[in-house]
Structure 1
Amino acid sequence: MDRLARRLGLRTDPHIFFWSAGLMVVFLVLLLSFQQPIGDAFGAGREWITTNLGWFFILGVTSWLVFLIWVATSRYGNLRLGKDGDRPAYSNLSWFAMLFAGGIGTVLMFWGVAEPISHFASPPFAGVEPYSVEASQDAMGISLYHLGLHTWAIFTLPGLAFGYFIYRYDLPMRVSSVFYPFLKEKIHGPIGKTIDVFAVLGTLFGVAVSLGLGTSQINAGLTALTGVPDAVWPKVLIITTLTAVATASIVAGLDKGVRRLSNLNILMAVGLMLFVLIAGDTVFLLRQLIESIGIYAGDIVPLSFWNDSMAQFTDEGGWGWQAGWTVFYWAWTVTWAPFMGVFLARISRGRTIRQFVGGVLVAPAAFTLVWFVVFGWSAMEIDGIGGSGGPISAAVADSVPLAMFAFFDQFPAATLVSGIAVVVVALFFATSSDSASLVVDMLCSGDGEAGPVRQRVFWGLSEGLLAASLIVLGGEAGLAALQEVITVIGLPIFLLVFAMMFALIVGLRRERVPKPVEAPARHQTAEPRPAQESPPRAGSQT
């Protein structure tokens, strides 16, 4: 493998790179060659996981959020992700734009209208009338629970773990580095490399599902605008085109490509949101902005522990509503954990733990709240709160990706705005793809700097090919098939992220953190090291 890597001009760990690439190719061949049996296997796996382990997903994410709040407010909050003299490389605005566009932009565009309307039309709680005031409030609370603090806790925990162990212990930028407290030097051996290969594969599948969702929405938008059929092969063509755009950004690198796309992306998304705020019922939305904070605050604790445990007595053949919503969300989001963790660590060196948790956890969650208020409440008002439904809920019942465009049809200049929305989704697609490609390359090389262009292009093309394969595998089932795949892939990665929390606890407990009265953090000059432990070696690279 070493010789082959040299011949190809690669700068990476050949074992991680070739094993990851080889297994990905095997999965692709199997997916395309045995579509029916593999689809059935994923369906059975998803049913077993949601029935028997759905409670574990819900409890796990809630425990991660509680842990992050504790560590940020504890004495460890002043520790820097890096040496004590390090300072952030990016401004707060660029930092926020990069983490947002790389993390959840596609998700908000897809679900910003679709999720509130779905719960509004089909309330998950017994006794709640569809389209009622109570249904609208529940819909907003559930949407914010799914895509607010809990989602960002799934990103923040691995990001904090990577930033802490990679920069304070001077370890390679790999997932295995997080487990140094348990494995010690074995992170550089077969055990560590196995963890890294698994993380790369999970990341590729997680990103592919997101690209599949984004592609479905772009196809729906083009169908509404131009009459292009909403079918499998147009989606494959869209993935091919946008993968080419993402690859061009990959070649430009993190500072030029990803940062520029991220800044452009967030500006266009904010522009869409402001348009809806101004063109819609502005006073109603401003009032709901304040009220929705209270709804979220009142719902977050009970929802954090709600397991839909009574569903077995009311639903037939399933675990209930949460199997298709909460468990799917957590399983899908956690597949992004290795990618987002390394990406966040890469752009956050020099920030304190408190700054990191506050920025990554709170700021995007606050933006998500504003987004759902503007789009979600506008959609529910259009469909008629206290009425019997309208054009948007009808569109969602027919095709979830159509929700955003059915929504824009109710506004002035609908065709123009829908066209802009398609561009925004496409840019989010490209940003997610090029960010993930750069990170996967880092996971393979262990280096915080971008590797040779050919490596990054390979991973970018691989993500597009995998996303196209999942679209073909899903066929007309589309979203349901993607949910089945990602739930099964998400379980082992969920266990991996859970272990990261305990690794962080062990690492932090070994820190010599002086009390502020004795030695304020700003006066420290030496890099803190875990007590009674010598610095580990940085690990070999090829």
Structure 2
Amino acid sequence: MNKNLIDWPTFIGALVLLLAVSVPLAVFPEAGKAVVNVANDFMTGNFGVLYLIFGLAAFAFLIYVGFSKNGHIKLGDKNEEREFGTFSWAAMLFSAGIGSSILYWAMIEWASYYQGPPFDLQGESNAAIQWAASYGIFHWGPIAWAIYTLPALPIAYFYYVRKKPVLKISEAVRPVLGKLVDSPLGNIVDILFMFGLMGGAGTTLALGTPMIAQGVHDITGLPVTMTMKAVIMLLCTVIFAISAYSGLRRGIKMLSDVNLWLAVFLLAFTFVLGPTLFISETTFTSLGRILNNFFKMATWLEPFAGIEGFRSTRFPEAWTVFYWAWWVVYAPFVGLFVARISRGRTIQEMAFGTIVYGTLGSILFFGIMGNFGLHLQLTGSFDVVGFMNENGAPAAIIAIINQLPLAGFMVVVFTVLAIIFLATTFDSSSFILSSVVQKEVQSEPLRWNRLFWAFTLCLMPLVLMFIGDLQTLQTASIVAGFPVLFIMVLLAWSFMKASSEDLRASKEYEPPTIHINRREIMQHVKNREKRRSAMESADQDTDDSDR
């Protein structure tokens, strides 16, 4: 065990912060929950406009970078092949970025919009139905994936182009912060990122575990108890611990491939044997509605709420602002992971590929699974909304799957897929957490380090599940992740500063793919420093002669 590789201030700091938040919540759950919810309401109510501005800015920035010279820079050596094929690469980035949360929300999110639609519309009206089929795709679409991709730019650039074997958020902002990165400020940046990721992982468990438990109940008849949920969580932990221990190529890649094939089977089965025409037309119409109203949806707040004569729905704060805050908390993690698996690709391929493949996957899930449930509701085949309001969302999700042909078999497929989705998110998370607390990552983090964070990711959510307060941890992580919003701006600035300087200094590049010669760049920097020293010496000699 090579302890010298571990960045102990970051390692210990992240654990201390997690315990400092989780222990008081466990000891004083009601008071802690009240404080966190007040902080969340204050943040989303007063700073929601910042998140919406940032979402649009991140999307525009990625488009600009993709078409600029910076986007043609290759991540790696001149003749280096892509480390992963497109199928496996897309599978890993989608599984890491979405996880089992998409199984949960794609199935049931429309029901919330159907009952509480945006734009002050009447619930369960024809207009509400149209927006219910569209808003989920928007929330999980291009802006979300642009937020995810932004941190990948500087991280991948420093790791593969400047050849710095460090996978840290703090290292990626060095061109802007300079030597401050080596001070406690650098540790704080990394610790905040790690805390946000661990809290976000708790959110995924909060959504995934009850849904899996309902699937197990449907298959076996066993009652859904806290013990069952704990066993499911530990089983998922063992799966992703084995996967993380096996490494990126054998464990995470293989699990992601299996995950994607199962997802394709579920989607194809539902599309072909479900209401195919309804799903096709509704999804296509929803895409048109989103394109036609993209900026309206991306900028809608309720500035007149509270003024006499204006009703407040709190839809933007409860959904769009909350989602953007959630993506920001998760973004450094997804960015780190996407950066790590993108060797051999150009910046443009990494940026556009992540946005396109991520958005396409979300469209398929929301378009097929969501519209299948909506069709059941509208035709009267099954009252999804009534069942959900009475029994909860996890039970409603399994009830929707039970409306498919070969219901028993499909519930098994869905449950296994949910377990693997959860595992792929967590093994990616443990891989990245262990990378952040190492001073160097030549190939993969130390195995004991990966295993430690695999089980740490499960430990605190497991404790909080027993007191029924996982949602509070989720909200706390998003509140604590507010500073990450400003770190994201530094990351974008850092990438442009570093890559533009290297492009200006490099003579060896030919579009469409630019390979930056690091030796040439370093020689250029040395020559520039020599010229600067010579000028300073000449100025000193002039001053001496004047005196």
TM-score by length of structure 2 reads: 0.88
Out of 473, 476, 486, the position equivalent to 1:485 is 476
What amino acid sits opposite 2:432 in the alignment? V
User: Deviation string for 1:206-229 (max 9, x for gaps)?
Assistant: 122112211121123334444544
CA contact (8 A) 1:328 1:486 kept: no
1:504 maps to: 495
Confirm whether residue 140 of structure 1 aligns to residue 129 of structure 2: no
* Post-superposition offset of 1:469: 3.0
* Equivalent runs, 1:247-266 vs 2, <5 Å: 247-266=241-260
CA contact (8 A) 2:508 2:515 kept: no
CA contact (8 A) 2:72 2:513 kept: no
Moved more, 93-102 or 490-499: 490-499
Confirm whether residue 162 of structure 1 aligns to residue 162 of structure 2: no
User: Deviation string for 1:397-417 (max 9, x for gaps)?
Assistant: 231223321211222222221
CA contact (8 A) 1:43 1:484 kept: yes
What amino acid sits opposite 1:503 in the alignment? S
Larger-gyration structure (1/2): 2
Out of 390, 395, 412, the position equivalent to 2:387 is 395
* Post-superposition offset of 1:495: 2.4
Out of 47, 50, 56, the position equivalent to 2:41 is 47
* Post-superposition offset of 1:516: 12
User: Deviation string for 1:223-274 (max 9, x for gaps)?
Assistant: 4444544454432332122112221212111111101110001111111111
2:146 maps to: 153
Task: Name the CA distance, whole Å, in 2 between partners of 1:58 and 1:530.
Answer: 40
Moved more, 423-432 or 499-508: 499-508
Moved more, 372-381 or 431-440: 372-381
SS in 2 for 1:512: helix
In structure 1, the gaps of 5 or more residues are 536-542
1:538 maps to: none
2:300 maps to: 306
2:538 maps to: none
Q: For residues 327 and 400 of structure 1, do their structure 2 counterparts lie closer, same or farther at Cα, with a shift above 3 Å needed?
A: farther
2:541 maps to: none
Moved more, 210-219 or 345-354: 210-219
Q: For residues 531 and 273 of structure 1, do their structure 2 counterparts lie closer, same or farther at Cα, with a shift above 3 Å needed?
A: farther
Moved more, 230-239 or 436-445: 230-239
Out of 28, 32, 37, the position equivalent to 1:34 is 28
* Post-superposition offset of 1:425: 0.6
Task: Name the CA distance, whole Å, in 2 between partners of 1:287 and 1:516.
Answer: 52
* Post-superposition offset of 1:367: 2.1
2:70 maps to: 76
Moved more, 459-468 or 277-286: 277-286
CA contact (8 A) 1:216 1:235 kept: yes
* Post-superposition offset of 1:346: 0.6
1:433 maps to: 426
Out of 204, 207, 215, the position equivalent to 2:209 is 215
Out of 269, 277, 284, the position equivalent to 2:278 is 284
What amino acid sits opposite 1:211 in the alignment? L
* Equivalent runs, 1:507-526 vs 2, <5 Å: 507-512=498-503, 519-520=510-511, 522=513, 526=517
CA contact (8 A) 1:166 1:177 kept: no
Out of 87, 91, 99, the position equivalent to 2:85 is 91
CA contact (8 A) 1:251 1:457 kept: yes
What amino acid sits opposite 2:429 in the alignment? A
* Equivalent runs, 1:44-443 vs 2, <5 Å: 44-132=38-126, 134-171=127-164, 172-313=166-307, 320-384=314-378, 390-398=382-390, 399-443=392-436
What amino acid sits opposite 2:477 in the alignment? I
Out of 453, 456, 467, the position equivalent to 2:450 is 456
Task: Name the CA distance, whole Å, in 1 between partners of 2:74 and 2:28.
Answer: 49
CA contact (8 A) 1:239 1:467 kept: no
* Post-superposition offset of 1:430: 0.9
How many equivalent residue pairs? 523
User: Deviation string for 1:371-390 (max 9, x for gaps)?
Assistant: 211112221111116x8x95
What amino acid sits opposite 2:230 in the alignment? V
CA contact (8 A) 1:175 1:195 kept: yes
Task: Name the CA distance, whole Å, in 2 between partners of 1:326 and 1:518.
Answer: 42
TM-score by length of structure 1 reads: 0.89
SS in 1 for 2:481: helix
Q: For residues 53 and 190 of structure 1, do their structure 2 counterparts lie closer, same or farther at Cα, with a shift above 3 Å needed?
A: same
What amino acid sits opposite 1:253 in the alignment? G
Moved more, 297-306 or 120-129: 120-129
Task: Name the CA distance, whole Å, in 1 between partners of 2:309 and 2:334.
Answer: 36
Task: Name the CA distance, whole Å, in 1 between partners of 2:322 and 2:294.
Answer: 18
Identical amino acids, percent of aligned pairs:
26
Task: Name the CA distance, whole Å, in 1 between partners of 2:285 and 2:170.
Answer: 44
SS in 2 for 1:336: helix
In structure 2, the gaps of 5 or more residues are 528-547
Moved more, 86-95 or 486-495: 486-495
Task: Name the CA distance, whole Å, in 2 between partners of 1:190 and 1:25.
Answer: 20
* Post-superposition offset of 1:313: 4.4
* Post-superposition offset of 1:190: 2.4
Q: For residues 156 and 336 of structure 1, do their structure 2 counterparts lie closer, same or farther at Cα, with a shift above 3 Å needed?
A: same
User: Deviation string for 1:143-197 (max 9, x for gaps)?
Assistant: 1110011111121001122112332233321111111112223323322222222
Task: Name the CA distance, whole Å, in 2 between partners of 1:347 and 1:518.
Answer: 24
CA contact (8 A) 1:343 1:435 kept: yes
Task: Name the CA distance, whole Å, in 2 between partners of 1:226 and 1:375.
Answer: 24
Task: Name the CA distance, whole Å, in 2 between partners of 1:193 and 1:80.
Answer: 29
Task: Name the CA distance, whole Å, in 2 between partners of 1:58 and 1:421.
Answer: 34
CA contact (8 A) 1:225 1:415 kept: yes
1:539 maps to: none
Task: Name the CA distance, whole Å, in 2 between partners of 1:284 and 1:531.
Answer: 62
Task: Name the CA distance, whole Å, in 1 between partners of 2:338 and 2:308.
Answer: 42
Moved more, 266-275 or 234-243: 234-243
